[in-house]
A and B are shown apart, each in its own frame.
Chain A
Amino acid sequence: MADAQAEDTRIDWEGTLVQRARAGDKRAFERLYREYAGRVYGLCLRMTRDPQMAEDCTQDTFINAWRALGKFETRSSLATWLHRIAVNVSLAKRRKSGPVEPLPEEEGAATKWTLETPIEVHEIESAIGALPDGARDALVLHALYGYSHGEAAQMLGIAEGTCKAQLHRARNLLRERLGVEVS
């Protein structure tokens, strides 16, 4: 109950800031930046594996968001909207630095992404960072940020079956690299 109220308050507060930013108020937009910079940078860093590129992507994400604020539906989630922009920016920047490997579609098994035994965060992050781009993208969006297969696929511009296949591949690679079962 209290959580729901807090969420409502947060959305109202966020909506007000969006309205003010749309009207050209840069201070309001800065507050939105302060609120979401970490989530955007976290996603960009995990997708690009390059801190400098992740900073550039974060910067471009917020500049693109400022340009497109007029099109943002206030009923939608601002975090999701920013993530969509961040994914597009990160994919575009990464494409410039190298080709992306295609993967045939196949059905992936449902995974909760739990580990057989506890593993240190830095070890998992390192294993995720070593995954191939496509598998890492799908894993980060689905397993870390909680997007559904369909949402992650849409954000990445791939078919849902391909997204599931990438997750399947990511799980197998993580299992090999971490030496524990990922279920």
Chain B
Amino acid sequence: MTSPPDNDARKVTSLRELPQSLEPPHDLWPRIEAQLTDIPDAAAGRATPARAGAMRARWLAVAAMLACVATGVWIGRSFLPGAPGSTAGPVSANNQVVPDLRTTAFDAAYVSDPRYAQQRAALVRTLQAKLAALPPPARAKVEASLATIEKAKADLEQALGRDPSNALLQELLVNTYQDEMRVLSDVHEASDPGRGI
């Protein structure tokens, strides 16, 4: 191994003065370009069959994760003293849980990165408009998924309120936040013209 600038005799008084940019010894672009040629339609993210398949796989992954969350909540509750009351969110006329995507105080404890909060807030702000742009079956699917995620978050937060050090519940909650972000991002992308869920 050679340290980056091998023969740099310049003296510095802070690590911040070290060069951030170091040129590769030779041009890597031809190798990169050759590989880009083998990735048709990748950059634009257009709704190719492969991409549509990946999206379907992601929704399946969401469903599988939610099943895990439900199991985790059940396990967490089973080992906690004092059975909780109902933790469901508001229920609509058709008996479906309505997603309430406002950030709670608990969110801040687990997701402290302000960029996460900003990105999530931006996605939530445009959610209704993006949902309106989706075909009704896809919209129903997304709404049901978000409602389930919200319910899972509420259940996990309530369980963590009684057992804050429960590592399993913490991990499930973080996973649920990540999954919510994935769903919101997918909705954002899928409502763009030429794309689909």
Contact surface of A with B, Cβ cutoff 8 Å: 21-24, 26, 29-30, 33-34, 37-39, 41-43, 45-46, 49-51, 54-55, 58-59, 62-63, 66-67, 69-71, 73, 112-115, 117-122, 124-126, 128-129, 139, 143-146, 150, 154, 182
Contacts and interface: CB of A to CB of B under 8 A. Distances in A.
Interface stretch (B18-26, B88-96, B148-156, B170-178): B18-26
B43 A66 contact: yes
Q: Which of under 10, 10 to 19, 20 to 34, or 35 or more describes the interface residues of B?
A: 35 or more
B24 A58 contact: yes
A70 B29 contact: no
Chain B residues touching A, majority SS:
loop
A37 B23 contact: yes
A23 B11 CA distance: 45
Contacts of A69: 43-45
Contacts of B41: 24
A102 B18 CA distance: 27
Contacts, number: 146
A59 B32 contact: yes
17 contacts: A22-B43, A29-B36, A34-B29, A37-B28, A38-B21, A41-B24, A42-B19, A50-B1, A51-B25, A54-B24, A66-B36, A70-B45, A113-B16, A121-B8, A121-B19, A122-B6, A122-B8
Given A26-B36, A59-B28, A121-B5, A154 B13 contact: no
Interface of B: 1-16, 18-25, 28-29, 31-33, 35-36, 39, 41-45, 112-113, 119, 185, 189
A122 B5 CA distance: 6
B3 A125 contact: yes
A26 B16 CA distance: 34
B18 A121 contact: yes
Chain A residues touching B, majority SS:
helix
Given A42-B20, A113-B14, A144-B15, 20 more contacts: A23-B43, A23-B44, A24-B44, A26-B33, A33-B29, A37-B23, A41-B22, A42-B4, A42-B21, A50-B1, A51-B25, A59-B32, A63-B39, A67-B42, A69-B43, A115-B14, A121-B5, A121-B19, A125-B3, A125-B4
Nearest to A121: B8
Nearest to B22: A42
A114 B21 contact: no
B57 to A, nearest CB: 16
Contacts of A118: 11-13
Contacts of B39: 63, 66-67
A122 B16 contact: no
A70 B16 contact: no
Nearest to B38: A63
A67 B43 contact: yes
A126 B9 CA distance: 12
